[in-house]
């Protein structure tokens, strides 16, 4: 078979869509069909969806949620459900704010944000290279700068950015909504005062202390082993469900108390005081206070780790999201990083909005969220096959590229990429990626040096591959392969159905963080 021609193009967004199969119950966490608040136009079409006009207000939305057992009865036309589970905006937060206000003012239930802490440091991203890297070989990992937390003009620049962001977050939140702002000792005093001004002192709820036991002990002062999470409500109508984050009291031994078993076989500890007996049942639920010392930070080898520095544990976000949102609500994180908030929100049946200006944040979030979408909805629609009736119920995530094209192309080195067409009928195309290498270009030795000494296969520099088509500037992925610890090998052959007006487009992400979209020509 012949090599095909590839013509580089740019896109404004990427869309990953899977169809909901019998496993869709996972998405709803057994509670409600979260995605059902969004509806698209035609049944089975891949058009970008809009927020369902039938479920705009909280009251309507929760009526719909209560109707969750008849899953299609949300007031949306049952034949045309197209579920946008989440949107990620790859751009500076200040650029995203007007876009968000236009679409989501007063509609977001929960905002969690973990902005830079003004540390004066650069934070890193560890990229495994090829099969060996993904199998855990430490010599096959390269390190990229993920983001700089440097603030050359000092803390004031950070504070002025945060004032703009927080004022906008206040407007984005629904009257039942809440904000959790994750910071540390460097900015907590400033943020508390700023938030009191923007949200009103009366809407301050907690200063949560997240205490972790990381290594390293200071000798000149007490070791700093906590972060601060400031919790504000938008208004007294805020939603909060402590029951959803209760934890069993457990078997901890209690001094001065006696362990007993009651007539129903339940174990309790008791103490008598003032002539009364107080009982503490082991299976009773207790509720977290404002000091959280039961959630560990991520260890070096933690399976949750994505390679993105400053990644937070999912358990932390799970507590926040469960307590302050319901299935179907919108949860936003405007400094998304590795996408922890978005991944947990998706898993718990919430919709999500993420913003980050880092290319490694985009790549990490794309992988994390698309993998989890596959797990939640099933992988039956991969290989370019969308069963007819399943295509009517789809879940999709969107990644908007709002950066300037020039930023995107900066420092890029066009690769030598060989793609072969191995099957083409009137309906179906199969292409095979045969090789991917950097073209030797003077002045760009830096990239080649990063992998010097590694023995690499012909596709090892490729980390993600997708095939699809472009509609209205949006790349619509139909079939994809993304390396992970579970799937270190790249699927080199990708197939898609072709039809008139849908020219195949290939999306490639390499281990240098470069990404390309190519129109496939000359078949
Ligand atoms: C502390 S990290 C967030 C980590 C995240 N909570 C997680 O669990 O992975 C802060 C993030 O803010 C992003 N960031 C910093 N300044 C930004 C800006 N002006 N606009 C958008 N994102 C920004 C960085 O790229 C970084 O990913």
C-alpha atoms less than 13 angstroms from C-alpha of 498 in its C-beta half-sphere:
18
Buried-state track 239-268, b at ≥16 Cβ within 10 A, e below 16: beeeebbeeebeeeeeeeeeeeeeeeeeeb
The residue whose C-alpha atom lies closest to atom 19 belonging to ligand 1 is: 92
Output the pLDDT for position 154: 87
Q: How many angstroms is it from 61 CA to the middle of ligand 1?
A: 31
Pocket test for ligand 1, best of 162, 337, 362, 364 (most atoms within 8 A of CB): 337
C-alpha 337/C-alpha 146 separation (Å) is 9
CA 478 to chain centroid, in Å, comes to 20
At 42-61, the pLDDT tens digits run: 222 232 222 222 233 344 33
- If you write DSSP's letter for every residue of 267-313 in order, what string do you get? EEEEEEETTEEEEEETTSEE---SEE-SSPPPPTT-TT--SBTTPPP
pLDDT band at 247 (very low <50, low <70, confident <90, very high): confident
pLDDT in tens, 62-113: 333 333 322 322 222 233 345 889 999 999 999 999 999 999 999 999 999 9
Helices (H), 118-234: 130-134, 155-172, 188-199
Please report the pLDDT score of residue 39 as a whole number: 26
Structural domains present in the chain: 5-10+407-521 (2.60.40), 13-246+287-401 (3.40.50.150), 248-285 (no CATH)
Q: Are strands 108-113 and 330-333 parallel, antiparallel or unpaired?
A: parallel
For the cut 50, the answer to whether the pLDDT of residue 382 exceeds it is no
Q: Look at residue 449 in the predicted model and tell me its pLDDT.
A: 84
* Tokens read off for 421: 């067409």
pLDDT above 70 for 147: yes
Query: Which tens digits make up the pLDDT trace of 323-347?
Result: 999 999 999 999 999 999 999 999 9
Residue 478: the pLDDT is 92
**Element holding 342 (H helix, E strand):** helix 340-347
Cα-to-centroid distance, 365 and ligand 1 (Å): 12
The three-class DSSP label of residue 422 is strand
For ligand 1, atom 5, which residue shows the shortest CA distance? 337
Token pair in block for residue 146: 């993920």
Query: Which pLDDT belongs to residue 54?
Result: 23
Q: For residues 234 and 175, what is the distance between their CA atoms, to the nearest angstrom? A: 6
| CA distances, 205 to each of 174, 177, 183, 229, 244 (Å) | 17, 12, 16, 11, 18
The pLDDT value given to residue 522: 73
Quick one: pLDDT at residue 58? 41
Place 3 in a pLDDT band, splitting at 50, 70 and 90.
confident
pLDDT of residue 1: 62
Cα 295 to ligand 1 centre (Å)? 21
CA distance 64 to 283: 34
**Residue 153 main-chain phi, psi, to 5 deg:** -90, 15
pLDDT tens by residue, 299-315: 988 999 999 999 999 99
pLDDT digits (tens, 9 = 90+) for 264-294: 999 999 998 899 999 999 988 899 999 999 9
**How many other C-beta atoms lie within 10 A of the C-beta of residue 2?**
8
461-486 confidence digits (pLDDT tens): 999 999 999 999 999 999 999 999 99
Rounded to an integer, the average pLDDT of 499-522 is 90
| pLDDT of amino acid 513 | 93
- Is the CB of residue 18 less than 8 Å from the CB of residue 35? no
Q: Which atom of ligand 1 is nearest to the CA of 146?
A: 25
Residue 79 has a pLDDT of 34
Task: Map residue 263 onto helix, strand or coil.
Answer: coil
Looking up tokens 């929960």, which residue turns up? Answer: 110
Q: Is a pLDDT exceeding 70 seen at residue 187?
A: yes
Kindly tell me if the per-residue pLDDT of 24 is higher than 50.
no
* Average pLDDT for 369-375: 87
pTM score of the predicted model: 0.86
User: What's 398-413 look like in SS3?
Assistant: EEEECCCHHHHHCCCC
Q: What are phi and psi of 190, to 5 degrees?
A: -65, -40
Say what the pLDDT of residue 216 is: 82
How high is the pLDDT of residue 51?
26
Which residue among 100, 124, 126, 147 is best mutated to probe the pocket of ligand 1, counting the most ligand atoms within 8 A of its Cβ? Answer: 147
Coil, helix or strand at residue 47: coil
- Cβ pair 364, 370 in contact under 8 A: no
Looking at per-residue confidence, does 363 or 56 come out higher?
363
Is-contact 433 465, C-beta < 8 A? yes
Helix, strand counts (H, E) of the chain: 11, 27
Test site for ligand 1: of 357, 362, 368, most ligand atoms within 8 A of the Cβ = 357
User: Which tokens hold the place of 174?
Assistant: 């629904």
The residue ranking higher by pLDDT, 379 or 80, is 379
Residue 337 Cα to ligand 1 middle (Å): 5
Ligand 1 pocket test, candidate residues 356, 367, 368, most atoms within 8 A of CB: 356
Instruction: Round to whole Å and give the CA distance between 520 and 437.
Output: 18
Residue 317 to residue 248: CA distance in whole angstroms:
19
Could you give the 3-state DSSP secondary structure of residue 200?
A: coil
Closest atom, ligand 1, to C-alpha of 306: 9
Amino acid 102: pLDDT = 97
pLDDT at 152: 86
- Indicate whether 412 pLDDT > 50: yes
How far apart are the CA of 439 and the centre of ligand 1, in A? 32
pLDDT tens track for 437-463: 987 666 666 787 888 889 999 999 999
- 8 A C-beta contact, residue 17 and residue 394: yes
The span from the first CA to the last CA of the chain, in angstroms, equals 10
DSSP 208-252: EEEE---S---SSS----EEEEEEEESSTT----GGGG-EE--S-
- Range from 216-225, 305-314, 335-344, 384-393 carrying the lowest mean pLDDT: 384-393
Cα–Cα distances (Å) from 117 to 150, 180, 197, 318, in that order, read: 10, 15, 20, 22
Three-state DSSP state, 482 = strand
Sort 74 into a burial class: Cβ within 10 Å, 0-12 / 13-18 / 19+: buried
Ligand 1 closest atom vs CA 340:
8
Residues with CB under 6 A from ligand 1: 92-93, 114-116, 147, 308, 310-312, 335, 337-338, 340, 355-358, 361
Atom of ligand 1 nearest to the CA of 358: 25
Q: What whole-number distance in Å separates Cα of residue 355 and Cα of residue 142?
A: 25
Does 214 have pLDDT greater than 50?
yes
Q: Cα separation of 381 and 270, whole Å?
A: 56
Alpha-carbon gap, residue 340 to 329, rounded angstroms:
17
Report the candidate in 295, 287, 380 with the shortest Cα–Cα distance to residue 340.
Answer: 295
pLDDT of 377 reads 66
Q: What is residue 374's predicted lDDT score, i.e. its pLDDT? A: 80
Contact between 129 and 511 under an 8 Å Cβ cutoff? The reply is: yes
pLDDT of 321 > 80? The answer is yes
């Amino acid at each position: 078979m012949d090599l095909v021609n590839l013509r580089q193009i740019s896109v404004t967004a990427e869309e990953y869509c899977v169809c909901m199969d019998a496993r869709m119950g996972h998405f709803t966490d057994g509670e409600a069909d979260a995605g059902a608040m969004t509806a698209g136009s035609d049944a089975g079409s891949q058009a970008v969806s809009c927020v369902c006009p039938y479920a705009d207000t909280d009251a309507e939305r929760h009526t719909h949620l209560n109707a969750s057992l008849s899953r299609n009865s949300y007031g949306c036309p049952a034949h045309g459900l197209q579920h946008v589970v989440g949107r990620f905006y790859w751009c500076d937060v200040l650029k995203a704010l007007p876009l968000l206000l236009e679409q989501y003012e007063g509609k977001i239930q929960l905002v969690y944000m973990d902005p830079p802490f003004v540390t004066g440091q650069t934070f890193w991203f560890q990229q495994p290279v090829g099969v060996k890297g993904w199998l855990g070989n430490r010599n096959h990992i390269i390190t990229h700068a993920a983001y700089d937390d440097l603030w050359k003009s000092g803390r004031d620049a950070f504070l002025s950015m945060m004032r703009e962001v927080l004022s906008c977050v206040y407007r984005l939140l629904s009257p039942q909504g809440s904000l959790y702002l994750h910071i540390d000792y460097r900015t907590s005093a400033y943020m508390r005062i700023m938030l009191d001004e923007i949200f009103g002192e009366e809407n301050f709820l907690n200063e949560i202390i997240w205490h972790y036991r990381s290594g390293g002990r200071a000798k000149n002062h007490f070791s700093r082993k906590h972060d601060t999470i400031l919790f504000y409500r938008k208004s007294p109508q805020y939603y909060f469900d402590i029951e959803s984050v209760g934890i069993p009291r457990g078997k901890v031994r209690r001094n001065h108390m006696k362990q007993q078993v009651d007539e129903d076989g339940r174990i309790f500890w008791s103490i008598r005081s003032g002539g009364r007996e107080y009982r503490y049942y082991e299976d009773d639920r207790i509720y977290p206070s404002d000091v959280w010392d039961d959630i560990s930070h991520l260890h070096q080898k933690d399976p949750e780790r994505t390679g993105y520095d400053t990644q937070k544990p999912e358990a932390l976000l799970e507590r926040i999201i469960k307590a302050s949102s319901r299935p179907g609500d919108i949860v936003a994180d405007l400094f998304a990083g590795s996408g922890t908030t978005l991944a947990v929100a998706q898993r718990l049946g919430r919709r999500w909005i993420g913003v980050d200006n880092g290319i490694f944040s985009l790549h990490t979030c794309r992988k994390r969220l698309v993998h989890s979408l596959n797990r939640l909805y099933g992988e039956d629609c991969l290989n370019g096959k969308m069963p007819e009736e399943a295509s009517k119920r789809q879940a999709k995530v969107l990644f908007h590229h709002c950066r300037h094209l020039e930023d995107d192309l900066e420092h890029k080195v066009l690769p030598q990429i060989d793609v072969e067409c191995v099957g083409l009928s009137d309906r179906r195309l199969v292409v095979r990626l045969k090789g991917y290498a950097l073209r030797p270009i003077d002045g760009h030795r830096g990239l080649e040096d990063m992998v010097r000494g590694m023995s690499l296969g012909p596709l090892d520099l490729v980390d993600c591959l997708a095939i699809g088509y472009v509609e209205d500037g949006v790349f619509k992925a139909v079939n994809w392969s993304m390396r992970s610890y579970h799937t270190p090998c790249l699927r080199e052959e990708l197939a898609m159905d072709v039809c008139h007006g849908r020219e195949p487009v290939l999306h490639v992400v390499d281990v240098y963080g470069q990404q390309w979209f190519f129109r496939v020509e000359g078949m």
